[in-house]
Amino acid sequence: MEKEPRRLVNYATLAICLVLIVLVYATFFQSNDTLIGSWEYRLSNSRSNLSSERINIDADYPQEFLLRRLVRGDDRVRFDFDGFSCHADVHSEVCVANKPVRIYNKGLTVYVYDDQPQVERIVRPYARREDETAMKFVSPVQILHGNSTIRPPAACNFTHNVTAVVFSSKGFTGNVFHEFNEIIIPLFITTRHFRSRLKFVITDFELWWVQKYNRVLSHLSGYDVINPGDGSVHCFPGAVIGLKYHNNLALNITDIPGGYSMFDFKQFLKESYNLKINHVSEIRKPVLMLISRHNSRRFLNEDELVEMMEGLGFRVTRAEPERVSNLDEFAEVVNSCSVMVGAHGAGLTNEIFLPAGAVTVQVVPLAHEWVSTNYFGGPAKAMGVQYLEYKIEPEESSLFDAYGKDHPVITDPETVISKGYYAYRSVYVDGQDLKINIERFKKTLIEAKQILETSTPFDT
């Protein structure tokens, strides 16, 4: 008879211990984003069941947790205290609200409720904060945080049950490099861990841009985008205003919720655009895409280049400007290529669709060394793409004939660069075409072909 009460006590003690273990486990993992991120990163590196695993990881987390992962350091303390914080750096400004918000005035006013006196903050939600030219096209968003009887928010026309993400589709859009660099990659960085449980509110709404990137938008959000231009009042349980930015075509894995890498971003693009080829070794006869420019930095002897490339055994496809405009189709074409060749310019951004192990060959015009390396050279390696540069000789530039071999434009580009960006641009960016030395350039393409012949899936 004495054993029965003792057994009950033991069961009760065991139950209490189990509850405590569960509570400690939950508390630890909800407070340690770095550990969760590193675990997710290991999952991504395993390259198995990537999407389904991460959906299960994030699907059950509440809005507060997902929003909190966008906030670091002292901003997190502020966020935990009153559910709202903003952080600004050189490139971008991002505000995060874990409390009811109302978005009105054509999306340009965001009211964040609080019982404190109202504070106003102005944010331009585009990741090019340091560039005055870009920001002239971006409308300011007014954030009213607090309680005010003087300027109360309008009544809701539409009430949503997921987080809002507010960003602009203006800035330098119309240029594919800037579209990926300042909107698409920052959008992925900021929102991927929400697993489509959010709605995009796009200020400065550009229908053509939304249509162009519909596949990306629909894979990051499970809802139609909101064009706030009709003046309706949209109410949300929380919001992110602005997008996080890291560097040129770059993702800093240690500063992204979930620890996403460039590999994860490329996998995301592969799923979004239904790209079939994983590695360049799957392409039997090497295909070379030549970026054909019609304005500045044209290849003046392009037909001779194509003849030489075909002589080396490449099947050449030219990327004309009108062909590039349909991104849904063009992404698949790029994914079927082994090599991409182009003079420095926005078209090289499409290297992001190349299969792993492919080669980007960037032709570097005069005075383009820094931008070539930093915009496309460095990022290519993170994409799993091999990278080669062909730096032209002065004689291969149209500037050589225009100014003469002894002019400072040829011998000392710094004298032009020191006069400012617009002086540099008028000469070297807009005023320069290229006549490539066929025999000299042939050596670079032979090197590219040798890389392809030795490339295996295990190299990337």
Q: What is the pLDDT of residues 57-93, one digit of tens each?
A: 445 689 999 999 999 999 999 999 999 999 999 999 9
Where in the chain is CATH 3.40.50.720?
280-459
**Length of the chain, in residues:** 460
Q: What is the pLDDT of residues 446-459, one digit of tens each?
A: 999 999 999 888 66
Residue 460 has pLDDT above 80, yes or no: no
pLDDT at 258: 79
Helix (H) or strand (E) holding 422, with range, is helix 421-424
Residue whose pair of structure tokens reads 């709404």 in the numeric block: 205
Region 312-336: mean pLDDT is 93
Identify which has the larger pLDDT, 56 or 262.
262
CATH 3.40.50.720 fits 280-459, yes or no: yes
pLDDT, averaged across the chain: 88
**C-alpha distance from residue 418 to each of 393, 413, 422, 423, 460 (Å):** 22, 9, 10, 9, 40
Q: Rounded to 5 degrees, what angle do the CA atoms 308, 312, 313 make?
A: 120
- In this structure, the number of other CB atoms found within 10 A of the CB of residue 435 comes to 18
**C-alpha distance from residue 153 to each of 29, 110, 119, 236, 315 (Å):** 37, 9, 14, 13, 61
Number of H helices, E strands in the chain: 21, 16
Residue 278 has pLDDT above 60, yes or no: yes
For 299, the token pair is: 């290849």
Work out whether strand 239-241 and strand 163-168 pair parallel, antiparallel, or are unpaired: parallel
Residue 124 has pLDDT above 80, yes or no: yes
Q: What is the pLDDT of residues 129-185, one digit of tens each?
A: 999 999 999 999 999 999 877 777 889 999 999 999 999 999 999 999 999 999 999
For 30, the token pair is: 């909800």
Give Cβ neighbours of residue 232 (< 8 Å, ≥ 6 apart): 104, 157, 158
Q: Which long-range contacts (CB under 8 A, 24 or more apart) does 301-309 make?
A: 301/435, 301/436, 301/438, 304/438, 305/436, 305/438, 305/441, 308/438, 308/441, 308/442, 308/445, 309/341, 309/445
Q: For residue 343, what are the β-bridge partners?
A: 363
pLDDT at 58: 47
Residue whose pair of structure tokens reads 């009950």 in the numeric block: 8
Q: What is the pLDDT of residues 381-417, one digit of tens each?
A: 999 999 999 999 999 999 999 999 999 999 999 999 9
Residue whose pair of structure tokens reads 């200020």 in the numeric block: 203
DSSP code at position 225: -
Distance between CA 104 and CA 109 in Å, rounded?
5
Region 218-228: mean pLDDT is 97
| Strand ranges in 53-178 using DSSP code E only, listed in sequence order | 84-88, 93-97, 101-104, 109-117, 119-123, 141-147, 158-159, 163-168
- In this structure, the number of other CB atoms found within 10 A of the CB of residue 110 comes to 28
Helix (H) or strand (E) holding 454, with range, is helix 438-454
